[in-house]
Amino acid sequence: MILDGGLSSLPPIVLTIIGIILLILIIKVLYFLMIPTILAFVVWLLTKDPFMAGVAFLAVAVLSIIFRK
């Protein structure tokens, strides 16, 4: 029977659910940061200025948050 273990089977199930939720959140954050990172890299390639690349990254990230659908 499935419930023979009692509460001993509950922690692995809860930890698996928490792990899946954390994995989804990490993927969403990486997806969100992908476009600003690419644009900042292009700005850095064109200008070789890390400050301008950082400004471009922050500007695109803020605009992504403001105009999120």
Per-residue confidence band for 68, with pLDDT thresholds at 50, 70 and 90:
confident
What ranges do the domains of the chain cover?
Answer: 7-66
pLDDT (tens digit per residue) in 1-48: 455 656 677 788 899 999 999 999 999 999 999 999 999 999 999 999
- Kindly give, in sequence order, each residue whose CB lies less than 8 Å from that of residue 14, ignoring residues fewer than 6 positions away: none
CA distance 18 to 22: 6
The rounded Cα 49 to chain-centroid distance in angstroms is 26
Determine the residue type at 50.
P
Q: For residue 65, count other CB atoms closer than 10 A to its CB.
A: 9
Q: Give mean pLDDT, residues 47-59.
A: 96
Predicted local confidence at residue 8, as pLDDT:
75
CA dihedral 54, 58, 59, 61 (to 10 degrees): 140
Predicted local confidence at residue 16, as pLDDT:
95
